[in-house]
Amino acid sequence: MVLALAACGEKAAEPAPAVEAPAVEAPAAEAPAAEPATPADETTEAAEDAAPAEAEASEPEAAAPAEAPAAATAEAPAPAPVAELPPMDPAKAPRRGVDYEHLPEPQPTMGQGGIEVAEVFSYMCIHCANLQPMLNTWKAGLPSDVRVVYVPGVFGGVSDDFARGFYAAEAVGLLDKTHDDLFKAVLIERKFQTGSAEEIAGWYATHGADRSAFLSTMQSFAVTTKINRARQFALRAGVDSTPTIIVAGKYKVNVTGDRGMEGLLDTVDWIVAHERAGKPMP
């Protein structure tokens, strides 16, 4: 087989008591100064004139409801619930700089919505082929807020042609049917001798594609745009081997020799749990 396994490898105090303010006694009220006596008839008339006025003045005060202070009536918004992290086996705890890395700056994701788990892979990578069955099982148990995206490695040469085949298959609705089979065709069945665009289009034709139309789609502007985006995604994330997984555009997860593919997925699970809880990884 002429194809090289390009870009494939394992990288591998208690609060103080409140002080009560001392009670302050109000000063004794001074007795009002005695007013000069008023003749009885004048006093009676004054009392009769003042009575209606006092009644009118007192009525609205009795009817007016007491207003609570604005600060007392305003309710503070309830804080948003924070998800708790699941228990973690210390022996499986991800190691920063070994199992995962923080990207220097958060990168744009390949899609929108949910927590994105993006695998940068190559059809010529045996480790990607070995991961794929485990990834299928892992995906089946994911919650609805986790979104898995495949990003073909665009490293030049034959890898670019296989990446174009990937996006063309996606465009014509054949990707789900052919993704796993293409690993087998490349690495086990040795169906490809050159990995040219024509040879790749011919293989997809055996799975229901129109060969000429598929080849045209591989060279289309839409596919070229996706190829360029996949290349930039891997470059910005510092991907230097496959498989590599990028979580939420923030973390790069690597395969390690001591933990293998299971360790890779354990690390992804732990990072996803942190993202869901709104807690950055250490």
- Look up tokens 């799975």; give the residue: 207
How many Å apart are CA 167 and CA 208, to the nearest integer? 16
Per-residue confidence (pLDDT) for residue 86, from 0 to 100: 74
Q: Which backbone phi and psi does 231 adopt, to 5 degrees?
A: -60, -45
Q: Which residues in the chain show pLDDT less than 50? A: 1-2, 4-7, 10-74, 79-80
246, β-bridge pairs: 118, 252
Per-residue confidence (pLDDT) for residue 256, from 0 to 100: 94
Pair type for strands 251-253 and 146-152: unpaired
Per-residue confidence (pLDDT) for residue 257, from 0 to 100: 93
- Reported in sequence order, the residue ranges of the chain that DSSP labels E, i.e. its strands, are 100-102, 115-121, 146-152, 244-247, 251-253
How many Å apart are CA 105 and CA 236, to the nearest integer? 9
CATH class of 92-277: alpha beta
State which H helix or E strand residue 211 sits in.
Answer: helix 211-218
Where would I find the H helices in 67-157? 70-73, 126-140
Q: What is the domain partition of the chain in residue ranges?
A: 92-277
